[in-house]
Amino acid sequence: EKEPVTVLVTGAAGQIGYAIVPMIARGAMLGADQPVILHMLDIEPAAEALKGVRMELIDAAFPLLKGVVATTDAVEACTGVNIAVMVGGFPRKEGMERKDVMSKNVSIYKAQASALEKHAASDCKVLVVANPANTNALILKEFAPSIPEKNITCLTRLDHNRALGQISERINVYVSDVKNVIIWGNHSSTQYPDVNHATVKTCSGDKPVRELIADDQWLNNEFITTVQQRGAAIIKARKLSSALSAASAACDHVRDWVLGTPKGTWVSMGVYSDGSYGIQPGLIYSFPVNCEKGNWSIVQGLKIDEFSRKKMDATATELMEEKSLAYSCLN
């Protein structure tokens, strides 16, 4: 049997936390043959609820689950961690200024960066889910300089999966036959869901989405806004934000990162920009990536038309603004 991998989930008593821990314990994140130890962190007001989650995990008797730590102590939570899924964050509350939310999250991510840097495994992989995800990841990177920048990412896979889902619904094909959409930029409403390179598997080979959906009006407008605003639509319907799809996407993100993407398929991940596609280096920006042997690399050489260029730059501009807002909160 393989050695267990230790997975940290912060904000584990929250909605996404509650949805993701059983997925991890069932092998949806690291594989059906990979034992796991779960470390769950939350804040003091959630400590009792967190205990309850731990009780349920024990009661589920997951064969792969080799240990569960439930704690409010960041050092205990981060010790020996191989994979860190950062779901804990300060939520936007009505009437709060953007700067106030940013400032709360900057201090959370600064503190957690230090705990991870000092106590996690040296090759720990980090996925930030809590919003503003890209900028929280950037702060974490800044304050954990010994964690390689390649190991710090943020979640845009939910947006990616939502785009696959919209295409599948529109033309009535299996979602598993749709691939290579791209989410560019920020995990916010300025993100750009791009179908220019996406394909659908058909009995006569892979066909471009733009050929199968010959409705540019829909693809360039409604499709994009539906994906961008899907989170809000779910809140409206459920009176709660999306949780199972966010949890599932976080598992997809880590699984593909660790175990690799299938040949000819890419996924979207928020990663540290190296200047690819003219995106300013030093931002955490969502790109199409291939993963192999635990490493991601940005897919190169895709043709970018003028429509895409504008949208890719607009979301980069928002990220630069968030970055300076975050830095102004540091002082």
Residues taking part in catalysis: 187
Gap between the Cα atoms of 152 and 33, Å rounded? 25
47 labeled part of a ligand binding site:
no
24 labeled part of a ligand binding site:
no
Shortest CB 45 distance to ligand NDP, Å:
6
> By three-state DSSP, how is residue 40 classified?
strand
Gap between the Cα atoms of 145 and 139, Å rounded? 10
Q: What is the token pair recorded at 50?
A: 């967190």
Question: Should residue 168 be labelled a site residue for ligand NDP when binding is judged by CB under 6 A?
Answer: no
112 labeled part of a ligand binding site:
no
Gap between the Cα atoms of 85 and 5, Å rounded? 13
Burial readout 91-129 (b: 16 or more C-beta within 10 A, e: otherwise):
eeeeeeeeeebbbbbbebbbebbbbbbebbbeebbbbbb
Question: Should residue 2 be labelled a site residue for ligand NDP when binding is judged by CB under 6 A?
Answer: no
Question: Should residue 238 be labelled a site residue for ligand NDP when binding is judged by CB under 6 A?
Answer: no
Q: What is the token pair recorded at 104?
A: 């709360």
Helix axes 133-143, 306-330, angle to 10 degrees: 50
Applying CB under 6 A, which of residues 7, 16, 29, 267 lies at the interface with ligand NDP? 16
Applying CB under 6 A, which of residues 4, 31, 43, 114 lies at the interface with ligand NDP? 43
Applying CB under 6 A, which of residues 91, 145, 278, 294 lies at the interface with ligand NDP? 91
98 labeled part of a ligand binding site:
yes
228 labeled part of a ligand binding site:
no
Shortest CB 216 distance to ligand NDP, Å:
28
Q: What is the token pair recorded at 95?
A: 């009437």
Gap between the Cα atoms of 166 and 150, Å rounded? 30
129 labeled part of a ligand binding site:
yes
295 labeled part of a ligand binding site:
no
| Distance (Å) of CA 251 to CA 7, 85, 283, 287 | 11, 9, 23, 18
185 labeled part of a ligand binding site:
no
Question: Should residue 10 be labelled a site residue for ligand NDP when binding is judged by CB under 6 A?
Answer: yes
- DSSP letter at 135 equals H
Helices (H), 260-305: none
In total, the chain counts a number of residues equal to 331
Helix axes 244-259, 15-25, angle to 10 degrees: 40
Shortest CB 63 distance to ligand NDP, Å:
26
Nearest to ligand NDP of 160, 311 (CB atom): 160
Shortest CB 331 distance to ligand NDP, Å:
21
Sheet containing 178-179: give its strands across: 178-179, 199-202, 205-208
Question: Should residue 17 be labelled a site residue for ligand NDP when binding is judged by CB under 6 A?
Answer: yes
Per rule CB under 6 A, count of chain residues that contact ligand NDP:
27
Gap between the Cα atoms of 49 and 32, Å rounded? 28
Nearest to ligand NDP of 70, 299 (CB atom): 70
Shortest CB 20 distance to ligand NDP, Å:
9
Question: Should residue 185 be labelled a site residue for ligand NDP when binding is judged by CB under 6 A?
Answer: no
Question: Should residue 151 be labelled a site residue for ligand NDP when binding is judged by CB under 6 A?
Answer: no
Shortest CB 78 distance to ligand NDP, Å:
12
Site string for ligand NDP, 121-140 (x = CB under 6 A): --------xxx-x-------
Applying CB under 6 A, which of residues 57, 84, 87, 299 lies at the interface with ligand NDP? 87
Q: Which residues bind ligand NDP (CB under 6 A)?
A: 10-11, 13-17, 42-43, 46, 87-92, 108, 129-131, 133, 158, 231, 241-243, 246
Cite the annotated binding site for NAD(+) by residue number.
Answer: 11-17, 42, 105, 129-131
Cite the annotated binding site for substrate by residue number.
Answer: 92, 98, 131, 162
